[in-house]
Structure 1
């Protein structure tokens, strides 16, 4: 039985897929979870009760319908969608990235992005059978404008991804360099603003100036990582083309209702984001006092270089604090850990545990 299954896999599953590794999620049970850039704050108890009542009344026996349109309208209002632009929904940003690869899968197509960056840009290209070209950032994690423009001229990419701010480095890049890349790109440019609630700048006010630019956001960092709502904005004609490859009913009625409820209480989530930004500054100062190199952050994470990342990672884990060891993801990340900004109590526990590993 096992031998026949092995033959089936060898014959019928793509060779490149057989050689891939699935996206890894660390076991976080019993841990202070600071590895995935989630908002650590939960809804206040009264709102939990109110949301539960709302979800209990949802018609689970029906396919998603008009309520999805209500969510699209609410997100357009929340994001201040520019005139002439439209918005499409995804089951998280991951699905939108996959749909873009599917929509742009023309012969010889290439996807290009700076590296180190979000792993799903490269993975979506690989899964769709497209070529991926990564362009290294500078040693201080800035865009290498010259290298990016040369790569664009050489490879003529169908999609250029620019995370704003970037994951895992957490920094915003130079706007003038971004504009040069946008003007040089022959295909789509996707500005990924996953961490917009914590950022000091947005590309939104420039979106309508460029026909080929798409702006992608998510409610995951807003505070709804478990709800899986991503959305993408751009010129209505362009969004309409990408939307053709979206599966029907890709957003559930429960997810839509939870997102609508959250948007009705966006002041609660804005206060949570403000708290996390204050905690981010406290962590930055504490890491500096430890003599560690921590890069500026416009997200809810901090990239820090430690003397021995494996020892610090395991030491933190032994003390029930889970972070992300990114030191082997890319040569530029050597020695680095990525720390999610948690609650005040969680951050105090993180700092105490980190000191003990040094």
Structure 2
């Protein structure tokens, strides 16, 4: 157990920070890791050797330079970025979320997002000293249009985050409702497409219609979670302003070269994503056959509700962990998630092992 902080030092740390909990990463040692929506597939051996040679030739003694512009252009082509847009790189989407909060930190500014949702929206607001307004989803995890529009009218948020699809619920929301929210928003709207490789549709074909909408993606779900690289697209003048708060050299030369290499071999990662979509489609009915409530998914995760009273999700989580499988217990994240677990979609073998552990733990 960590010793208490010396009171002389504690007085230097913001009280709200001392009251916070750090973002928790579960210890997965010796377990099948099905808690973090990671791609289960590694690079083929031939590509591992090619990437190793590429990384070995990188000038580690130099700060990142023009290679980052090569990466921006490659990502713009990969994402089919609209004409007149700019692209900003982040050390994962988490950094981009924080930089947006920093750039919009004016007196009285508010960040708004549906809840339950990605925890970093609220955390970035708190760390930047901004108000956060969470608008509950409906009981079936759809956008509550009336509540969202009322909250926008009341709070006039500087930023509205819309995850597309949402985490941890894995669903895409109604496009017509999203368009009315976008039209009502007085500030920025960020469409967070972290799970785009697994989704049935994207906002990329609509983003150019709105000068205040930014589209954010990550290579984590593309298959490069360890590389930590996110990117954000918006009209070039808007990106230029937000980019002013980005730390210099925030993307390492190794991360950039890994990302460029992956984009050159995008067909390998596209095939992996296609396989995971197939595995997801097989996993959903298998979970329902166990008597669980299962929501539709447009991501590489599935949200399920286990039967039973309070504590049922924790009991099943503990049972699965004892059987060597680690999932995510989200039942305490929000009242709407009572007795819910979030499961990563893995390979066929991974999913079979997860299903066995789940069945034996119910």
* TM bracket, shorter-chain basis: over 0.9
- Structure 2 counterparts to residues 25-44 of structure 1, below 5 A: 25-44=25-44
TM-score by length of 1: 0.98
- Classify the secondary structure of the residue corresponding to 1:244: helix
Q: In 2 relative to 1, CA 293–86 (structure 1 residues): closer, same or farther, beyond 3 Å?
A: same
Match of 2:240 in 1: 240
In 2, Cα distance between the equivalents of 1:52 and 1:182?
A: 44
In 2, Cα distance between the equivalents of 1:124 and 1:26?
A: 21
1:92 aligns with 2:92: yes
In 1, Cα distance between the equivalents of 2:250 and 2:55?
A: 18
In 1, Cα distance between the equivalents of 2:3 and 2:339?
A: 42
For these two proteins, the number of residue pairs brought into alignment is: 357
In 2, Cα distance between the equivalents of 1:243 and 1:274?
A: 34
The Cα of 1:3 is off from its aligned counterpart by 11
Match of 2:313 in 1: 309
- Classify the secondary structure of the residue corresponding to 1:132: strand
- Structure 2 counterparts to residues 260-279 of structure 1, below 5 A: 260-279=260-279
Match of 2:285 in 1: 285
Q: Which runs of 5+ in 1 are unaligned?
A: none
1:297 aligns with 2:297: yes
1:147-168 deviation line (CA, Å, top 9, x unaligned): 0000000000000000000000
The Cα of 1:11 is off from its aligned counterpart by 1.6
1:165-224 deviation line (CA, Å, top 9, x unaligned): 000000000000000000000000000000000000100011110000000000000000
The Cα of 1:295 is off from its aligned counterpart by 0.2
Match of 1:326 in 2: 330
The Cα of 1:10 is off from its aligned counterpart by 2.5
In 2, Cα distance between the equivalents of 1:116 and 1:220?
A: 21
- Structure 2 counterparts to residues 1-358 of structure 1, below 5 A: 6-307=6-307, 308-358=312-362
Q: Which runs of 4+ in 1 moved over 6 A?
A: none
In 2, Cα distance between the equivalents of 1:225 and 1:61?
A: 25
TM-score by length of 2: 0.97
1:231-269 deviation line (CA, Å, top 9, x unaligned): 000111100000000000000000000000000000000
In 1, Cα distance between the equivalents of 2:116 and 2:130?
A: 19
In 2, Cα distance between the equivalents of 1:12 and 1:297?
A: 45
In 2, Cα distance between the equivalents of 1:302 and 1:30?
A: 23
In 2, Cα distance between the equivalents of 1:296 and 1:58?
A: 43
The Cα of 1:5 is off from its aligned counterpart by 5.6
- Classify the secondary structure of the residue corresponding to 1:226: helix
Q: In 2 relative to 1, CA 138–3 (structure 1 residues): closer, same or farther, beyond 3 Å?
A: closer
- Classify the secondary structure of the residue corresponding to 2:99: helix
1:17-38 deviation line (CA, Å, top 9, x unaligned): 0101100000011111000011
The Cα of 1:9 is off from its aligned counterpart by 2.7
